[in-house]
A and B are shown apart, each in its own frame.
Chain A
Amino acid sequence: MNKAWLHFVLIACVGCLGFARAQDAKSARQIIAEAAVLSDDSDSQVKLVQSLTGLGDPETEPLLLSWKEGGIYLVPGADGKKVAVTLAGDPDAAKKETAIRLDIKEPLKDAAGASVRVSPTSAELAETDSSIRRAMKAVTDLSKLAAPNAKDRLMAISQLGMERDVSKLPILEGRLKVETDGQVKRAVQEAIALTQLRSPDAAVRLLGCKALEEIHPLSAKDALVGIIRDSEKAGDKPLLEAAKKALSAVESHRTVVNFFGTIFRGFSLGSVLLVVAIGLAITFGLMGVINMAHGELIAVGAYTTYVVQCIFAEGLVLSPFGMQMSLPGMNTTGWVYEMYFVIALPMAFIMAALVGLALERGVIRFLYRRPLESLLATWGVSLVLQQIFRLVFGSNNVQVNSPSWLSDNWTINDVIFGWNRVFVIGFAVLIVIGTWALLSKTPLGLLIRAVMQNRNMAACLGVRTERVNMLTFGFGSGLAGLAGAFLSQIGNVGPSLGQSYIVDAFMTVVVGGVGSLIGTVASALGIGVIDQSLQQILGNPVLGKILVLGAIILFLQWRPAGLFATKTRSLES
């Protein structure tokens, strides 16, 4: 940036708040119209543009934008003087359009009083040069600072903070005085401190360092490193020390943020694992059935969510096996549409449970005493299901939109808590409690536990084991469906969705100790947190994942039966 220009802006800006008030009669529209015609006098144009600052006129921004992008033309008016106009966009045969006066928003009349029509290609454009554009940008940036919405203000301020333009310090300071929102205020302080570091005045730089030490924003690292380097060269001891202190405050804050962030992400990944694995904990853990198609049951849940979503919107057309099948949509919008997920959850459960029941009746019930064979047969089922997904929904991922109440986040002290992640944790807690309650508090749960412990004995006592097997498997499959509905919110939904989770799910159950619900919970959270920590430490998700797999194999050396092994006297398992 050139220095003269910098000074100029500094003076102009300081003055402009008061200056603008003096001309309160004029609207942004009028000022811009006035400025646009002064095409020979760039300095006056700049001054006029700058005078827009602080007007708070909502039209300022769109008009400046339109000027910049060539939407304003200069057309001779009735007196022959050029007038700034926009075109109405009603081309006739000669491609001419009505010229609308920019300042009063009315058609421009010629001497005869008729509307002037010009062609956009032949009319003179109101040009902008770089100095005007810079002034425009300064104006729009600053106008955003006063935006009524805290979020917009925050965005504008952090942008300014990144620019670190010393000339804008007074504006930021002015904002600090009037700002009421805590988060925005913090951002302003941050921006001020960061900008102060650029100040030519050593005392101001020192002030910046001290402020940064106090508010230790994560973004200050590079700036502080720069200051340390410069002050070392210049031998400025107090500044060097202050900068070092500030840097260490930032660094320690970063550690804290990373720590909590990692824990949170670990818990949310753990919850995903838990949601995915809990159905498996039932079918594999309790029933001893290795269901390789568990992943596809998850996908059934995810696709069900997709279908429900489409029905809430415009409906969808499927063409499986050459047939045409169209599902009508309800064309809902707004909050009704957003509630589709609430309907999708039970639907996903039911659909997956139904597929699970069919699987149990058709294949698995013949293989209860042959776990390896059930592994193979269910893998066959998983291939078939995957291909069916491809035929029905196509090989590409389908688009599932998260409802807005899942796509925002909270930021507390620089730690980001995504609502979908918070939701998955809560969701996992609910599912675990529900499953636990079903198993230990209901008559059905009692029957399930009885049958799983000793099929023959339960049968002798008159329990209809066939039915219990069926229901248990259906329940486990339904849980897989819920997991699928959930995963549709945080990842892609495609035919091989299930494949990407199946290894993790089995690992979780095995590490937790087969047949132990609490073990599954502990191992899911443990694996989640360890995985995220390794990612944080190694800075590489794949390497982290490989290490976790290795760690699990080694862990099983130490506890072959998992974390919470059910110790039994019968060793034949």
Chain B
Amino acid sequence: MDHPLILNAEGVNKSFAGFKAITDLNFYLTEGELRTVIGPNGAGKTTFLDLITGRTKPDTGTITFGALTELVPLSEHEIVRLGVGRKFQTPTVYTDHTVFENLLLSLEGVRGVWKTLFSKTTSTDIDRIDEILKIINLGSRRTDLAGSLSHGQKQWLEIGMLLAQNSKLLLIDEPAAGMSDDETALTGELLLKLAGKHSIIVIEHDMVFVKQIATGRKVTVLHQGSVLCEGSVDAVQNDPRVIEVYLGRKKAA
């Protein structure tokens, strides 16, 4: 392989009160890759992100970030500081802070209690924030409260916060959910712009959106907590197992 692995999950298992959410999952992501993960409801997609970010701990298995760093024993904020950023399914921003402040708090660097007490906002900080505001198309809303943004804008702000964090690996959970078509397309472009500089895992249901961002890239299908198949969008869509999983589910429903 020409690129080194940035994420390496092997033999991961996790169950909740008897329900096996993740079963013997193996997942590899190379640096700079944009990977889309699809799968029916309950396939374990969100749980998988929870496991990477340390929100829940696997019963067995290893998750390695970069060359050597084992993520399992670390706590959430430590994993974030390593460079793993996550955008939640429902946008989670600080609604009572301005857009600027949201990004300021996310800027890489100052994290400790004492440091935040005595940190000054430098002009480099401000330049960086303005740069990000341009990328996420929110330059005009700089001093507005984040709570006043539209749903789509909040999603972008959250992605912008991950950028400010300078995360190497971005975990994006259903970015297109609840967005208008235009916003969805813009979001797709944004993600494509970021691919290469960052490694990205996108979880998505909307197949139009998946086609937009995953054409020419690898797609992973999760089913019942493990990888069903991997390949290009077309290959995956025509895979009989995938069809059965989706259609079989539909019949049952």
* Residues in A lying within 8 Å of B, measured CB to CB: 567-569, 571
**CB of A46, distance to nearest CB on chain B (Å):** 84
Q: Find chain A residues with CB under 8 A from B142 CB.
A: none
Closest chain-B Cβ to A572's Cβ sits at a distance in Å of 9
Contact of A567 among B17, B46, B47, B55 (CB under 8 A): B17
Bound CA span A569–B44, Å = 11
B55 touches A569 (CB 8 A): no
Residues of A within 8 A of B200 (CB): none
> Which chain B residues lie closer than 8 Å to A571 at the CB level?
50, 55-56
Q: Is A568 a contact of B55 with CB atoms below 8 Å?
A: no
Q: Please list the residues of chain B having a beta carbon within 8 angstroms of any beta carbon in chain A.
A: 16-17, 21, 46-47, 50, 55-56
**For residue B50, which residues in chain A have a CB less than 8 angstroms away from its CB?**
571
New A-B contacts (8) at CB < 8 Å, excluding given A569-B16, A571-B50: A567-B16, A567-B17, A568-B16, A569-B21, A569-B46, A569-B47, A571-B55, A571-B56
Docked complex Cα distance between A569 and B47 (Å): 8
10 contacts between A and B (CB under 8 A): A567-B16, A567-B17, A568-B16, A569-B16, A569-B21, A569-B46, A569-B47, A571-B50, A571-B55, A571-B56
Closest 3 A-B residue pairs measured CB to CB?
Answer: A567-B17, A567-B16, A569-B16
| Docked CA distance A218–B112 (Å) | 64
| Nearest-Cβ distance from residue A560 to partner chain B, whole angstroms | 14
Task: Compute the total of residue contacts between A and B using a CB distance below 8 Å.
Answer: 10
Whole-angstrom distance between the Cβ of B26 and the nearest chain A Cβ: 22
In the complex, A58→B197 CA distance in Å? 108
The smallest beta-carbon distance between B10 and chain A, in angstroms, is 23
User: Of all chain A residues, which has the CB nearest B92?
Assistant: A572
Report Cα–Cα, A311/B9, bound state, in Å: 73
Residues of B within 8 A of A569 (CB): 16, 21, 46-47
Rounded to whole Å, the gap between the CB of A518 and the closest CB of chain B is 14
Smallest CB gap from B42: residue in A? A569
A568 partner residues in chain B, CB cutoff 8 A = 16
Residue of B nearest to A566 (CB): B17
Q: Which residue of A lies closest to B17 (CB)?
A: A567
**What is the minimal beta-carbon distance from B48 to any residue of chain A, in angstroms?**
12
Query: How far is B46's CA from A567's CA once the two chains are assembled, in angstroms?
Result: 16
In the bound complex, residues from chain A placing their C-beta under 8 Å from that of B46 are: 569
A433 to B50, CA, bound (A): 39
Smallest CB–CB gap between A525 and chain B, Å? 23
Which of chain A's residues have a CB closer than 8 A to the CB of B21? 569
Bound state CA distance, A571 and B50, in angstroms? 10
Give every chain A residue within 8 A of B16 (Cβ-Cβ).
567-569
Chain A residues near B17 (CB, 8 Å)?
567
The smallest beta-carbon distance between A114 and chain B, in angstroms, is: 100
Closest Cβ neighbor of B90 among chain A residues:
A572
Minimum CB–CB distance for B83 against chain A, Å = 23
Bound Cα distance from A569 to B17, whole angstroms = 10
CB distance from B55 to the nearest CB of A (A): 6
Q: Which of A567, A568, A569, A571 has the most CB of B within 10 A?
A: A569
User: In the docked arrangement, what's the CA distance between A253 and B22, Å?
Assistant: 56
CB nearest to A567 among chain B residues: B17
B47 CB contacts on chain A under 8 angstroms: 569
User: Which A-chain residue is minimally distant from B21 (CB atoms)?
Assistant: A569
CA distance A152 to B23 in the complex (A): 74
CA–CA, A571 to B88, complex, Å? 13
Q: In the complex, what residues of B have CB within 8 A of residue A567's CB? A: 16-17
Task: Report how far A571 CA is from B21 CA in the complex, Å.
Answer: 14
How far is A568 from B16 in the complex, measured between Cα atoms in Å?
Answer: 7
Shortest B132–chain A CB gap in Å is 27
Minimum CB–CB distance from A257 to chain B (whole Å) comes to 43
A569 to B14, CA, bound (A): 11
CA of A262 to CA of B182, assembled, Å? 72
| A571 vs B55: C-alpha distance when bound (angstroms) | 9
Q: With the chains together, A568 CA to B46 CA distance in Å?
A: 13
**A412 to nearest B CB, angstroms?**
43
Residues of chain A contacted by B55 (CB below 8 angstroms): 571
In the assembled complex, the Cα of A336 lies from the Cα of B56 at a distance in Å of 61
Q: How far is the CB of A563 from chain B (nearest CB, A)?
A: 14
Query: A299 CA to B47 CA in the complex, in Å?
Result: 46
What's the nearest-Cβ distance from chain B to residue A569, in Å? 6
Nearest CB on A from B49, distance (A): 12
A571 to B47, CA, bound (A): 11
A302 to B212, CA, bound (A): 68
What CA separation (Å) do A569 and B22 show in the bound complex?
12
